[in-house]
Structure 1
Amino acid sequence: MQSQDKETIAQAKRFHEVFNELRTEIGKVVVGQQHIVDNLLISLFSRGHCVLIGVPGLAKTLLIRTLSESLNLSFNRIQFTPDLMPGDITGTEIIDSDVASGKKEFKFFKGPIFANIILADEINRTPPKTQAALLEAMQEYHVTASGTTYQLDRPFFVLATQNPIEQEGTYPLPEAQLDRFMFNLWLDYPSFEEEIEIVSRTTSGLSTPVKTILSAEEIIAFQKLTRQVPVPESVLNYAVKIVNMTRPNTSYAPDFVNKYMTWGAGPRASQFLILGGKTRALADGRFNVTEEDINAIAIPVLRHRIVNNYAAEAEGIKAEDLINRILKEA
C-alpha cells in the first residue's frame, strides 16, 4: 500500500471518530433530533447548505449555534424581515473620515454574512431581492461592492429556516433558488420523553459547556477528503437513475410520476446524492459508497426539487410518498 493511501485511510478513520464526537457534543445541548444533526453534518462536510422547515420553538438557533461552538467557527444569525435590504446582509460602503488628514473616502463595512456559519432565519419573510443577495453569496463564496470582490470565510455553511404555518406576507423561494440547497430538512416535534428532558434542562438554570472538536482548517481538509471516496459505477448509475425517474414524460419516468408530477429534479440532485453518499459512508467508517447511502439521503435531497401536480394534492400524495415509491422501483 502506498504511503498516500495509508494517509488517506488514516484520515478517513479520523473523520469517523470526529463525526461521532460531534454527535455527542451536540447531544449534550440539543435533545433528540439525531437525524437532523447527522444530515447537517453531512451537508457541512459535503460543502453544501440546508433549508430547515419547522415551527418556532424547536431549537433551530440553539442547534446551529451549538454546531458552530463544537467546530470553533464564527456564527451569525440573520433575522429576515420584509424591510431587510441586501446591504444589511452583505455589508455596505459608508464615508469614513481620517481625523489626522481630514480626508474622506468610502470604506466597506462587512455585513453579518462574513462568518463561517450563517443562520438565515425565516428566509421566506424577506423580498426576492434580499433573498438573492444571500443565495448569490452561497453560490459564489464572495461579495462584490463597488467593483471590489470580498472573499467569504471558509468553511461557509448556510442554514436557512422557514416557518411552515404562517404563510401570509411571505415570499416563497422559487424552485430554481431552492435547488442551490443540498438538503431540505423537516424538524418534527420532540417525543413526550424528549420534551420532558428539554423542559428539565432549560428550566434548571444550568448550562452545559460544549467542547471544541475541529478547527476551520481541519474541516476544509475533511471536505476535500469526502471527494476522494470512490463510488462504484453501479452506485453512480443508481443515483442518476433515481433522479431521472423524477422527470415526467421521459423514458425513465414510471406511470405514477407522469400522473402526479409536473417537474423533476435536475443534475444538481445527482451531484448532491453522490457527495452526500460519500460523506455518509465516511461517517459510518467506510471508504466506499453503497446504494443504502443514496437511499438514506434521497428524501432531503429530492423533496424540494420535485413539483407535484393538482392530482397529487387532491389525493393527499406528498413528495416523500413519490420519492419512496421511486426508491422501491429503482
Structure 2
Amino acid sequence: MNVDDVKALATRIREEVAKAITGQHDTVDLMLTALFAGGHILLEGPPGTAKTMTARCFAQALGVAYGRIQFTPDLMPGDIVGSNIYNFQTGQFTLTRGPIFCDLLLADEINRTPPKTQAALLEAMQEHAVTFDGTTHSLGRNFMVVATQNPIEHQGVYPLPEAQLDRFLFKHRVSYPGPEEERAIIIHHGGGSASHDIAQYGIKAQTDRKTLEKALETVGSVTLVDDVVGYIAALVRATRDTADLEVGASPRAGAMLARAARARAALDGRAYVIPDDVKALAVPALRHRVILSPAAQIDGRLVEQIVSDLVDQTEAPR
C-alpha cells in the first residue's frame, strides 16, 4: 500500500459517512488523521451537533469491531475494562471482557463520569492494553478512542484530568452548522423515519483490520525532513516561552504532532510532510496540552488564538 492508496481509502470513508452526516467535514478529516496516525480524538460541542452520530457512522464505514460506553456518574472502572467473575460450577474465575475490547471505542459524554472512572482508559489509550488482576490483555495496534463531551460550562460534568487529555491526539470543537447545512439537515433528518438508525443510510464497510495495519505502516514511512522536525520543535518550545501560557506543551506533544503531520500528508497523497501539515494541525493537537496564564484568563484570551499566533510567529522552513 502506498500514499495514493491511503488517500483513496480515506475518500471512500468520507463518502460513506456523508450518506448520513451533513457537513462536519473538518470533524471527519481529523478523525481520519487520528486513525491513520494511531491516535485518539476528543470531540467537544453542545448537544445536538452530531458528535455521537458522526462517530457511529465513522465506525460503520471502517467495518472494524466497535464498542460504545455511555459515561454516567455511577459508571465504574470494571464497567469499562471488564472483570474476572467466579464461576461456582467450575470453581474457576472467568474473564468477562468489557466494551473496551474492540478496535474503535466510542466514549460518549466522557466528562459525565468522575476522574477515577475516566482513568480506566489511560493504559488502554497509551499502551493499547488493559491490566486487571495482574494480567495484561492486548487491544490491538489499531485501537482508537473517539470520545465526546459537552462543554465544561454545562452542568453535571467533570473536567478531564490533564493526564487523560494528553492521551488524545486531537481535541476538536464541533460547532453549529452554517445556514445551508442546517437547511439540509432539516430536510435530510426531518422525515418520518428515525434519523438515529444508521442502518437506513446504507453505510458500507470500506476497510478491515489488516488493511488499516498496512495503512499505518505506510503513514509511518512518510518522509519527515530535518527542517520540518526543527519547525515542530520550535513551535512546541514556543508554547513554553510565551507569557500567555502558564504550562506549555510537552515533548510528547511534538512527537504526536509529527505523527499527525505524517498522516495528513498521506491523506493528501504525499510521501513527505510539508510545513502546512503542521500548521493545519497545530491548534487541535496543542489546544488541550497547554494552560492559560492567570493574566491571559483575565484578559479573556483564548488558547486557540494564542496557538494560532505562535504558529504565525514561528518561522517555517521554505
TM range (shorter): over 0.9
Displacement of 1:165 in angstroms is 5.3
What letter is aligned with 2:218? Answer: L
- 1:318 corresponds in structure 2 to 302
Contact 2:52 2:148 in 1 (8 A): no
Which residue of 2 is the match for residue 4 of structure 1?
A: none
Aligned residues with identical type, % of pairs: 42
| Pairing 1:293–2:280 present | no
Pick one of 181, 196, 216 that aligns with 2:183: 196
Alpha-carbon deviation of 1:166?
Answer: 4.7
Root-mean-square deviation (Å): 1.5
Aligned to 1:37: 28
**Where does residue 141 of structure 1 map in the other structure?**
128
Shift of 1:220: 1.2
Q: Which runs of 5+ in 2 are unaligned?
A: none
Map of 1:226 onto structure 2: 219
SS in 1 for 2:136: strand
Distance, in Å, in 1 between the alignment partners of 2:188 and 2:66 is 23
CA distance change for structure 1 residues 169 and 212 in 2, over 3 Å: closer, same or farther?
closer
Q: When the two structures are superposed, what TM-score results if normalisation uses the length of structure 1?
A: 0.90
The one of 8, 28, 35 aligned to 1:17: 8
Partner residue of 2:232 out of 222, 228, 239: 239
State how far apart, in whole Å, the 2-side matches of 1:182 and 1:11 are.
23
In the other structure, the counterpart of 1:3 is none
Deviates more, 1:150-159 or 1:83-92: 150-159
> How many angstroms does 1:62 deviate by?
1.2
Is this contact kept in 2: 1:230–1:289, CA < 8 A? yes
CA shift digits 1:264-323 (9 cap, x unpaired): 000111112111111111111111100000000000001001111122122221011111
216, 227, 231: which one pairs with 2:209? 216
3-state secondary structure, aligned to 1:32 = coil
* Conserved 8 A contact 1:55-1:165: no
Alpha-carbon offset, residue 213 of structure 1: 1.0
Larger Rg: 1
Q: Secondary structure at the match of 1:158?
A: strand
Where does 1:80-159 land on structure 2 (aligned, <5 Å)? 80-98=71-89, 103-159=90-146
Q: What is the rounded CA distance, in whole Å, between the counterparts of 2:147 and 2:60 in structure 1?
A: 18
The answer to whether the 8 Å contact 2:43/2:174 transfers is yes
Whole-angstrom CA distance in 1 between matches of 2:45 and 2:145? 16
| Structure 1 position 168, deviation (Å) | 3.7
**Residue 52 of structure 2 corresponds to residue 65 of structure 1:** no
Q: Which segment drifts farther, 162-171 or 230-239?
A: 162-171
> Cα–Cα, structure 1 residues 165 and 178, in superposed 2: closer, same or farther, change >3 Å?
closer
SS of match in other structure, 1:115: coil
| Matched length | 308
Please tell me the residue identity of whatever aligns with 1:28: K
The residue matched to 1:246 in structure 2 has which SS?
Answer: helix
Alignment partner, residue 168 of structure 2: 181
Match 1:269 to one of 250, 253, 257: 253
Unmatched 5+ residue regions in structure 1? 1-9, 248-252
